[in-house]
Structure formats: C-alpha cells, structure tokens
Amino acid sequence: MNRRNEILNEMGLAPIWKLRSIQEQPEQKAESIALMDWAQLKEKVSGCTDCKLRPGCTQTVFGVGDEKADWLLVGEAPGAEEDRLGEPFVGQAGKLLDNMLAAIDLGRGSNVYIANVLKCRPPGNRNPEPDEVAKCSPHLLRQIGLIQPKLILAMGRFAAQTLLGTDATIASLRGRLHRYAGVPLIVTYHPAYLLRNLPDKSKAWADLLFAKKTIAG
C-alpha cells in the first residue's frame, strides 16, 4: 500500500472508489443501437467513430431505398464511388445489380432497400476486418429490425457470414433457404465478384429466381 493509501486507511477513508469510465462498452452500444428509430440510427451512423475507418473515408454510406421494403439486399462495404456519392452500389458492381434487379421487375427504392455490412469505406477497398464488422454490424441489424423485410439477399461472403454467424463459403451456403432472426435469407454472389467471374452470373440469376419464388410464398 502506498503512503497516501496508508494515511487514508488510518483515517478510515479507504478503500478509494474510482469512477468507472462513462464510455459505453461494446455490448451496451449494441443494445442502445438495437432500440434506435430511423432518425437516431442515421444520426448515430453519420457521427460514428466506433472503429478506425471513419477518418479515412469521405462520408458514411447508410443505405438507400424503401424503408418498408419486402426485399433487403446486403453487400459488403462502400467502394470509391459509394464513398464519393454517399449511396451504396453506385459503381460498376451497382450497375450490374440494377440490371439484375430490373430483370426481376425490381428497382432500388421500389420495394427494395440496399445496405452494406460496413458503413465506411475500407482503405483501398481492402476486406473488412473482424473488429470493424463487429463494431458496425449492429447498425445493419437495426436496419433489418426497422425494415422487417420479407427476404434478405446476402450478397457475398461478408454479408452472408456476418448475418448467419458462420465462416462457411458462399458456394456451400447458396441454393438453400436460411433465416436471420426469423427472416428468410438467401445467399448469392457479390456483384463485384460476378464482374470478374462471368460464368457464375447464371448461378446468381438462379439465386434471384429462388428469392423471387420464396418471397411470393
């Protein structure tokens, strides 16, 4: 015991209780995000500094579309164009996504909501890191809770693995009906992957038809 504590002890003033940090712990943060309404959630995301990505990006990319949509499409993270414009899937991959949606008579904003696992662009489009996914995914989970979609289309490894809590591959998760919090979830390839692997487009098309059939009941 140091001299100060000895004196305090003799005076009957020990032990000294230190004030706990008033900063929220990660679980408390996730709990408070889970109770937010749309306005609170948008404000939380736009001012978010929970992980190391925010200082390196231009702006946060919250999500876009019909907040009461039946379809929720989930990607990975904003790229350069999304970071510049503040909207998900507006680059090359986004054009392909728009064309695929049009082919099943859907469009962004009409009965469709599009969001990413990460709301900030990782530098140089690198893969999201586990701590970034852990800190950002409560925002996506709250978006799902608020939208209450009829179907989630998880596009790519990060969306599928985050929502299903697995490290299984896309190939092994495709073609089956999964659920996230009771909501039917279908896994498909990420549009950016399809741009580099054209033969897999037919598999993504099959996934979309499966999703359409599932939502029709």
Interface with ligand URA (CB under 6 A): 75-79, 82, 88-89, 91, 93, 116, 192
Say which DSSP state 8 is in.
H
Question: Distance from CA of residue 134 to its chain's centroid?
Answer: 10
Q: What are phi and psi of 189, to 5 degrees?
A: -70, 155
19, 28, 40, 60, 138 from 22: Cα distances, Å? 8, 11, 20, 26, 20
Say which DSSP state 13 is in.
-
What are residue 110's DSSP bridge partners? Answer: 107
Strand ranges (E), the chain = 64-65, 71-75, 112-116, 151-155, 178-180, 183-188
Closest to ligand URA by CB, 37 vs 115, is: 115
Smallest gap from residue 17 Cβ to ligand URA (A): 47
How far apart are the two ends of the chain, measured CA to CA in Å?
70
Q: Nearest to residue 147, comparing CAs of 120, 117, 114?
A: 114
Smallest gap from residue 56 Cβ to ligand URA (A): 16
Smallest gap from residue 6 Cβ to ligand URA (A): 60
Closest to ligand URA by CB, 79 vs 149, is: 79
CA atoms within 13 A on the CB side of 102: 6
Instruction: Using the structure block, give the residue that is written with the tokens 């999500």.
Output: 63
Smallest gap from residue 89 Cβ to ligand URA (A): 4
Smallest gap from residue 137 Cβ to ligand URA (A): 14
- 3-class DSSP assignment, residue 130: helix
Smallest gap from residue 60 Cβ to ligand URA (A): 12
